[in-house]
Chain A
Amino acid sequence: DAGITQSPRHKVTETGTPVTLRCHQTENHRYMYWYRQDPGHGLRLIHYSYGVKDTDKGEVSDGYSVSRSKTEDFLLTLESATSSQTSVYFCAIGTSGINEQYFGPGTRLTVT
């Protein structure tokens, strides 16, 4: 794996509670991404970052926010978790230009 860790790896939470997932990289890559993976949908981009404090929305950003205060950390927050946000969340890092991405091990989130 390309120096990417995600925490926690598993989490169960209740509807309406806030949740924060962390992605940490040791590669000093400029770009970082958050995806969710659901059966029949493949991977869908939630948010991405192109530098410290520079972020933008992906195709399924509603209900999610992100922050990047350091190059190595990219946080994904569910402000008020809903059952539809039960999913496996993947962080990825990438370089500019060709946009080749490297993925973390994933976080399985269950919202009850």
Chain B
Amino acid sequence: TQLLEQSPQFLSIQEGENLTVYCNSSSVFSSLQWYRQEPGEGPVLLVTVVTGGEVKKLKRLTFQFGDARKDSSLHITAAQPGDTGLYLCAGDRLIGKLIFGQGTELSVKP
């Protein structure tokens, strides 16, 4: 059973476009993390959201945690080729045991 559903699975856009990636679940999480992974490397944490309704911004990236702490979104403004990569959401239900989504492969073409 996949507890975290990410959509879309693949996204190919032109430089300068905006995009949103969604992470949804029927389960409540105490926190939710977003990671970015490049080919052949391990994922690197971008942000952790903890409070329902929380919004965090990281330059052109905006992360939101749903009010019920069951879903989250990642919005990228004016995407650049350097944003290309695999974006993973991960929910924390037990200490240290993160549940990962299936990932969204983003390709930003110049």
- Whether both chains belong to one complex is answered with no
